[in-house]
Amino acid sequence: MKNNTVIKSITAIFIFALFLAFCFDLSTQTVKNSEYCFLIICTIIVIVFFRDSFPKTLVFYTMLSGILLKFTYVLYTPVWCRQHDVVDFGAGEGHAAYMEYILSNKSLPDFDPRSVWAFFQPPLHHFISAVWMWFNIRMGVSENRMHKNVQILPLCYMCILMIVVYAMCKELNMRRGGMLVTMLAISFHPIYILMSGSINNDALAVLLTVISIYIAILWYMYPTTGKIILLAISIGLAMSAKLSSALVAPPVALLMICKCTKDTGKFKEKAKLISYLLEFIPFALIVFPLGLWWTVRNKVLFDMPANYIPEVGEQVSKRGLVPTILDVRTASPFLYMKSNGFAYDEYNLILATIKSSLFGEGDFARISAAVNVLGWILFALAVIILILHVTAMIRTCISKEAGPDPMIKMFLCAVFLTFLAGYILFAVRGANLSAMDYRYSAASIVPLAVFAGLMYDREEALGNRLLRYVLLGTSAAFAVTACLFYVTIGFYAQ
């Protein structure tokens, strides 16, 4: 993808965001109003009449549909519904209060962040949200509408994420078929739909992490000092949004070492080795202060541990390693929670991983029978997709003929495994349901989706139709079912 295309796409998203904020009242919180129908009709008319100006590819329409689906979800989802540690504006605690504090005081909290719920998180997202709220106030937006407009930020983050992954696919020389498989997963994966309406710091952290992955690939392919500085900034900002984003650093470090080893003949070319080391110095000087300043500040001022995490969510009974891994009995596609009427909280890690990535911690079974059926179908398709994507990762990594560069394949595989390991460790150590929510490692879905696209292209080159049809057909079915599920939820929302 050319740089001007990326810039144009991101600019279009920002223009769309400004239109939603100041020309469209999101606070109606329903897809049944005339404004929403009129916007969808106008979008269709524009595409039909100006179709020569748009790419005539399924990938483009997949991404556009993903944007519209995320917008639909944001429209009917209140700022206090299906959120994580947000509570609500005016509540005095949670992520919403964090934003309000920065907006009101024009400064960071001057007290121990552990004393108010959610204030221990790094403040990048909350600072950006406070600035956005200040701009809304200056534009004369009502308080209720301003609070709803905060959801436009994560909506933009998740839309930009699609563009970044598309650019990544282009750099890896994916064909249209493989790119379609990848973008079906990224554009319609429920975890990104849920994040598009979540006003906590998850969406920004995931976006910056994926940007870091993309820049790392660019640096490996075309190494320059400018790219390594951009990489340091993106990782540092990701950690300033959420400290767990630091999980992307070990795979990046591995890629740097491999690149250095490859280009210097196992460190025999001293001049080239020194040039790389000189580039790594500004990288370290940027990434460590930018990523760890919040942690160091709180340790110095308030003696807050670097790994501080409060007790969150419903406590899960310890049932031993075997049932945690092997007991996959379930009577619902949604998470078992005592608060939802189940006998116990979800304790099986495999089920929690899949369920939370599809539905978060919500229970949609009581909404309607149709929603429950769609939930089961989506759950079944997710299991198949997971198997196919993991298979794609393994087949692509062990195949010498499959592109791209072996080091890039190793890097993408390391990203997935690192985030998966981080999630498992956190879930096992944390005796609460919230720790088993896969949103903490949502960035790991990107390398899996990329591997799926790479495998599709390889099978196409080899002339293997069956696996290609299965992969594309299942990906399409997953996307359509996810779309139907979250649109249907909107028509039942009050």
Look over the chain and give the mean of its residue pLDDT values, rounded to a whole number: 90
Q: What is the enclosing helix (H) or strand (E) of 369?
A: helix 369-398
Give residue 25's pLDDT: 86
Mean pLDDT computed over 217-224: 94
pLDDT of residue 279: 85
pLDDT of residue 16 exceeding 70, the answer is yes
Gap between the Cα atoms of 238 and 229, Å rounded: 14
Q: Are 337 and 416 in contact (CB under 8 A)?
A: no
Instruction: Using pLDDT thresholds of 50, 70 and 90, give the confidence band for residue 1.
Output: very low
Residue with the two structure tokens 């973008």: 183
Torsion, Cα 316 321 322 327, to 10 degrees, reads 30
Q: Which residue in this structure is represented by tokens 């790392």?
A: 216
User: What pLDDT does residue 226 have?
Assistant: 93
Rounded Cα gap, residues 428 and 441, in angstroms? 14
Q: What is the SS3 assignment for 315?
A: strand
Q: How many CB atoms lie within 10 A of CB 126?
A: 28
User: What does the block give as tokens for 490?
Assistant: 């909107």
Which residues, other chains included, contact 282 with Cβ-Cβ below 8 Å and sequence gap of 6+? 225, 228, 229, 232
For residue 316, is pLDDT > 90?
no
Per-residue pLDDT band for 345 (boundaries 50, 70, 90) equals confident
- pLDDT value at residue 39: 83
pLDDT above 70 for 64: yes
Q: Indicate whether 185 pLDDT > 90.
A: yes
Least confident of 151-160, 178-187, 236-245, 307-316: 307-316
How would you label 201-228 residue by residue, b for 16+ Cβ within 10 Å and e otherwise?
A: bbbbbbbbbbbbbbbbbbbbeebeeebb
Neighbour-count burial for 358-395, b at 16+ CB within 10 Å, e otherwise? bbbbbbbbebeeebbebbebbbebbeebbebbeebbeb
pLDDT of 2 strictly over 60:
no
Query: Band of the pLDDT at 325, cuts 50, 70, 90?
Result: confident
Question: What is the residue type of 370?
Answer: A
Statement: residue 35 has pLDDT above 90:
no
- Residue 269 contacts residue 153 (beta carbons within 8 Å): no
CA nearest to 358, candidates 162, 186, 189: 189
How confident is the model over 384-405, as a mean pLDDT? 89
Instruction: Kindly report each contact of residues 256-264 with a partner whose C-beta sits within 8 Å and lies 24 or more positions away, as own/partner.
Output: 256/280, 258/407, 258/410, 258/411, 259/219, 259/220, 259/223, 259/407, 262/407, 263/223
- Return d(Cα 331, Cα 399) in angstroms, integer: 39
Give yes or no for a contact between 113 and 302, defined as CB atoms under 8 angstroms apart: yes
> What phi, psi does 432 have (nearest 5°)?
-150, 155
Q: Is the pLDDT of residue 217 over 70?
A: yes
pLDDT reported for residue 174: 94
CA 361, CA 352: separation in Å to the nearest integer?
A: 9
Tokens of 471: 């992969």
For residue 455, give the nearest of 445, 467, 466, 443 by alpha carbon.
467
Q: How far apart are alpha carbons 490 and 71 in whole angstroms?
A: 11
C-alpha span between 176 and 171 (Å, rounded): 13
CA distance 75 to 201: 19
Q: 150: closest CA among 137, 161, 164?
A: 137
Which of 82-91, 310-319, 360-369, 398-407 reaches the highest mean pLDDT? 82-91
Please say if the pLDDT value at position 494 is more than 60: no
Highest mean pLDDT out of 6-20, 272-286, 404-418: 404-418
Q: What is the largest CA-CA distance in the chain?
A: 69
Task: Tell me which residue has tokens 């994507």.
Answer: 389
Instruction: Report yes or no: 90 and 66 within 8 Å, Cβ to Cβ.
Output: no
Q: What mean pLDDT is predicted for residues 31-46? A: 84
Give the model confidence (pLDDT) of 69-80 as tens digits.
999 999 999 998
Give the list of residues 6+ apart from residue 462 with CB closer than 8 angstroms, or none.
none
The answer, yes or no, to whether residue 315 has pLDDT greater than 70, is no
Q: DSSP string of 376-443?
A: HHHHHHHHHHHHHHHHHHHHHHH-SSSSS-HHHHHHHHHHHHHHHHHHHHHHHHS-BGGGG-GGGGGG
State the average pLDDT over residues 210-223. 96
Phi-psi region at 142: left, alpha or beta (left = phi > 0; alpha = psi -120 to 50): beta
Residue 208 has pLDDT above 70, yes or no: yes
Query: CA-to-CA distance for 116 and 95, rounded, in angstroms?
Result: 10
